[in-house]
Amino acid sequence: MSNPQEGKTLKEQLWDPVAGFGVTFRTMFKKVVTEQYPFEKQPTAPRFHGRHQLNRWPDGLEKCIGCELCAWACPADAIYVEGGSNSDAPDGERFSPGERYGRVYQINYLRCILCGLCIEACPTRALTMTNEYELADDNRADLIYEKSDLLAPLLPGMEQPPHPMRLGDFEGDYYRGTFKAAGGSSEEATS
């Protein structure tokens, strides 16, 4: 059996094995970069693409008009929308200004790649993205978010739909912003 040290110089026999630990010793005194997630959560970049949000007008009505443009823009086919009709009749219901609202709204986070094309397509800024990134779950069904999971919370001054338009007589008043904010600005509801 051959001697593994055979043919090696004295430096190679004595110094090189010790030098290998130099990397270990140097690293021991460097600043630790390991992130202790989930015990310590780091803030995201302000424009980080996280979970979606369906926004409201300052009176609480929904901004979504059920047009499906977000669904058509999605490259992953992750959005499903069914529109419904608003009505001001005594037995009718109004969820958004204008004719239509998003009656069914789902985002499948098993498919979504958080690219943001859907929010670019939305004509009313109903759909935006939050900084929330904790979207893992232990079953497939819970990763299909329903409208109730995505709707922005009601802020002070907002009223749970269905209810009539409170900020103007026509949807144009909402879209042009020619209304007096009730309780908070529309931008507060979209952040």
Q: From 190, 165, 186, select the one nearest 58 (Cα to Cα).
A: 186
Verify binding: residue 115, ligand SF4, rule CB under 6 A.
yes
Q: Of 8-16, 110-118, 133-141, 158-166, which part binds ligand SF4 (CB under 6 A)?
A: 110-118
- Amino acid making up residue 145: Y
How far apart (Å, rounded) are the C-alpha atoms in residues 46 and 165?
33
For 151, which DSSP code?
A: B
What one-character-per-residue DSSP string does 42-62 give? PPPPTT---SEEE-B-TTS-B
Contacts of 152 (CB under 8 A, 6+ apart): 53, 54, 55, 56, 189, 190
Nearest approach in angstroms of CB 125 to ligand SF4 is 8
Verify binding: residue 61, ligand SF4, rule CB under 6 A.
no
Near ligand SF4 by CB under 6 A: residue from 59, 60, 79, 128:
79
Nearest approach in angstroms of CB 132 to ligand SF4 is 13
Near ligand SF4 by CB under 6 A: residue from 50, 76, 131, 166:
76
Which value, to the nearest 10 degrees, does the dihedral of the CA atoms of residues 132, 136, 141, 147 take?
A: 0
Nearest approach in angstroms of CB 48 to ligand SF4 is 12
Near ligand SF4 by CB under 6 A: residue from 51, 58, 95, 112:
112
For 114, the token pair is 């958080």
Verify binding: residue 150, ligand SF4, rule CB under 6 A.
no
**Closer CB to ligand SF4, 126 or 167, in the complex:** 126
Q: Which residues bind ligand SF4 (CB under 6 A)?
A: 64-70, 73-74, 76, 78-79, 81, 102, 107, 112-118, 121-122, 124, 126-127
